[in-house]
């Protein structure tokens, strides 16, 4: 009986809000009016904790942490790992007043003989190759986007173990103004540790084989993550300015610092993400000015 009453009250409440508002409340556990224009979006818990610790005048609304960083009002929302989770969060932001989204988190560095990348380096992607499945679904549902994106023949499609890979890979890009602001701020604070690079986004963390890493190396991709491709794609689709600033946490393919093959943690892993957060916070006044 009690559950029936609760159900009736819930249905009554839903009659007074829009479908868009319902979506936001279901996913972020708060109303769309509680989301600020600038959203910072980590994926993993450690980065969320570091950001929340720096947040001043903090107010928590469900999954949304509001407050100020460097005097700028922001919302911090942890997307969780992977493109499906990132897409769900972006769908909520589409239905709010959010205008800017910056992803700050970790990425893997693509290790190779001719690749100068180290753990703790800052990577600011200039593009993301859509190696995930979520981007493919949005491109299927929004075919007009196909004409607005670059594409290449998938470097993995011809390899013996990856014959199921799509023949064409689409490339999504961040907002150019945001990207340049982050690069300029990063290079003013750090020396020799800032890389502007192409990025590969994948769904399958545990499928980073040597063959896979070598194929990425062959097309000058220096980093890999699990969220940026759909962030950039939906930013373009929904007219939200987006960018990523990432810190290298491990080197897939390297014997010592591949997280899936070794227990060794590089001492620069934590300092790298601290630097990424510091750069983003320092750049916030200029980011706000770009709205």
- Whether 230 and 90 have beta carbons less than 8 Å apart is answered as yes
Q: What is the 8-class DSSP label of residue 221? A: E
DSSP string covering 77-122: E---SSHHHHHHHHHHHHTSS--EEEEEEEEEE--BTTB---TT-E
Give me the pLDDT at residue 226, please: 97
Q: What token pair was written down for 97?
A: 């007043």
What is the reported pLDDT for 12? Answer: 46
pLDDT at 84: 98
What does the block give as tokens for 183? 């690069």
Closest CA to 17 of 4, 5, 26: 26
Q: What integer pLDDT is reported at residue 114 of this predicted model?
A: 62
- The pLDDT value given to residue 78: 98
What per-residue confidence (pLDDT) applies to 3?
Answer: 53
Domains of the chain, CATH where assigned: 14-289 (3.40.50.1580)
d(CA 215, CA 33): 45
The C-alpha angle 240, 242, 247, rounded to 5 degrees, equals: 160
Three-state DSSP class for 270? helix
Q: Which residues contact 154 (CB under 8 A, 6 or more apart)?
A: 165, 166, 167, 168, 169
Closest CA to 61 of 31, 40, 41: 31
Residue 52 has a pLDDT of 98
For residue 53, the model assigns a pLDDT of 98
Identify any residues that bridge with 130 across adjacent strands, giving them in sequence order.
201
What per-residue confidence (pLDDT) applies to 7? 44
pLDDT value for 200: 96
Candidates 15, 72, 52, 84; CA nearest to 227 is: 84
Structure-token pair, residue 18: 């829009």
Question: Is the backbone of residue 187 left (phi > 0), alpha (psi -120 to 50) or beta?
Answer: alpha
Per-residue pLDDT at 188: 95
Which three-class secondary structure state does DSSP give residue 6?
Answer: helix
Which residues of the chain have a pLDDT value below 70?
Answer: 1-15, 112-115, 157-165, 253-256, 258-261, 264
Q: What is the pLDDT of residue 252?
A: 78
């Amino acid at each position: 009986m009690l559950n029936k009453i609760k159900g009736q009250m819930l249905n009554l409440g839903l009659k007074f809000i829009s479908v868009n508002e319902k979506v936001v409340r279901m996913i972020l556990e708060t109303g769309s009016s509680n989301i600020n224009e600038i959203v910072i979006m980590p994926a993993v818990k450690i980065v969320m904790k570091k950001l929340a610790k720096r947040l001043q005048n903090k107010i928590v609304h469900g999954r949304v942490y509001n407050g100020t960083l460097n005097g700028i009002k922001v919302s911090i929302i942890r997307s969780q790992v992977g493109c499906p989770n990132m897409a769900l969060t972006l769908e909520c932001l589409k239905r709010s007043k959010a205008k800017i989204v910056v992803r700050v988190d970790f990425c893997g560095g693509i290790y190779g003989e001719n690749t100068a990348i180290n753990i703790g380096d800052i990577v600011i992607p200039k593009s993301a190759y859509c190696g995930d499945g979520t981007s493919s679904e949005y491109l299927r549902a929004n075919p007009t986007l196909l004409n607005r994106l670059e594409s290449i023949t998938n470097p993995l499609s011809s390899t013996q173990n990856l014959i199921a890979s799509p023949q064409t890979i689409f490339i999504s890009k961040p907002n150019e103004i945001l990207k340049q602001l982050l690069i300029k701020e990063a290079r003013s604070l750090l020396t020799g540790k800032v890389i502007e690079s192409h990025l590969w986004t994948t769904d399958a963390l545990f499928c980073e084989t040597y063959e896979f890493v070598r194929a990425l190396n062959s097309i000058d991709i220096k980093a890999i993550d699990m969220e940026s491709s759909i962030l950039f794609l939906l930013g373009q689709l929904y007219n939200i300015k987006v960018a990523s600033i990432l810190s290298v946490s491990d080197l897939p393919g390297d014997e010592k610092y591949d997280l899936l093959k070794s227990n060794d943690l590089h001492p620069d892993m934590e300092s790298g993400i601290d630097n990424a957060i510091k750069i983003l916070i320092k750049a916030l006044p200029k980011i706000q000015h770009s709205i």
